[in-house]
Amino acid sequence: MRIAFVLGLAATVVSGEVAVPAKHGAAGIERARDSLRASRRPGTARIQAGDYLLDHSLEFGSRDPEGSVYIADPEVRLIGGARVRGWRPVSDKAVLALLSVSARRNAMVATVAGLGAFQARGFGHEHMPAHSELFFNGKRMTVSRWPNVEFTRIAEASDTDPEDDGHGRRIGRLPFGFRYAGDRPSGWKNAPDIWVHGY
């Protein structure tokens, strides 16, 4: 069996096992793949522990020798995102005014221009193969929301003459709206892009 060994960004075919150091990232994996392709014989590539940041897909196909194996050491992560740097406390008074007093001291901001569009997704939205998410310490962060868990409840319908829903119950007409418990959203009157989800 021919094995590719990755040194820096150069790959040569030697007798042994492929080593893909994490410091070379996805480029190291691609170099190992290319060297195995050049050998035209199956081989093994071992991907060492670490984070591998991808800005495009890793492609494998008919050019790869049949029987080649890629083995990932524990703690290997293929990451199709970008690191967000330059975090700083929020200082914009207009933004701080939208936040509760308890949240203001913990609010941070960073520039993410060029890292992809942030779009609503899920029930009622067009399917997307990928979407923008933020991860911190390995955990996916939740978009700022209210309430933080579950849903708020409808307190009462504004429709004074609700229609029969066909099941013997009365249901308020949507144009009349409804009232909910609490007044937290009253602070969002100047927010330019509010998302509402419910059923």
Amino acid at the residue 64:
D
Query: What is the pLDDT, as a whole number, of residue 125?
Result: 72
> Is-contact 40 50, C-beta < 8 A?
no
Q: How many domains does the chain have?
A: 3
> Is-contact 45 29, C-beta < 8 A?
yes
- Among candidate residues 79, 101, 127, the one where a domain is terminated: 79
Query: What is the pLDDT, as a whole number, of residue 92?
Result: 93
Residue 119 belongs to domain spanning: 83-142
Kindly state whether residues 63 and 16 are assigned to the same domain.
Answer: yes
- Element at 50 (helix H, strand E): strand 50-53
Kindly state whether residues 99 and 69 are assigned to the same domain.
Answer: no
Kindly state whether residues 124 and 158 are assigned to the same domain.
Answer: no
Q: What is the C-alpha separation between 192 and 167, in angstroms, rounded?
A: 39
- Annotate 53-113 with DSSP letters as a single string: E-SS-----TTSPTT-EEEEPTTEEEE-S------EE---HHHHTTS-HHHHTT-EE---T
Sign of the alpha-carbon dihedral angle for 190, 191, 195, 199 = negative
Kindly state whether residues 11 and 75 are assigned to the same domain.
Answer: yes
Q: What is the largest CA-CA distance in the chain?
A: 82
Kindly state whether residues 120 and 58 are assigned to the same domain.
Answer: no
pLDDT tens, residue by residue, 77-123: 888 878 888 999 999 998 888 888 888 999 999 988 777 777 777 66
Kindly state whether residues 11 and 73 are assigned to the same domain.
Answer: yes
Kindly state whether residues 111 and 94 are assigned to the same domain.
Answer: yes
Residue 1 has pLDDT above 80, yes or no: no
pLDDT tens, residue by residue, 116-167: 777 777 667 777 666 678 888 888 888 878 888 888 888 888 888 888 888 8
Kindly state whether residues 152 and 176 are assigned to the same domain.
Answer: yes
> Is-contact 74 48, C-beta < 8 A?
no
What is the percentage of the chain residues whose pLDDT exceeds 90? Answer: 7
Amino acid at the residue 74:
P
**Structure-token pair, residue 60:** 């494998």
- Among candidate residues 61, 79, 97, the one where a domain is terminated: 79
pTM score of the predicted model: 0.57
> Is-contact 19 47, C-beta < 8 A?
no
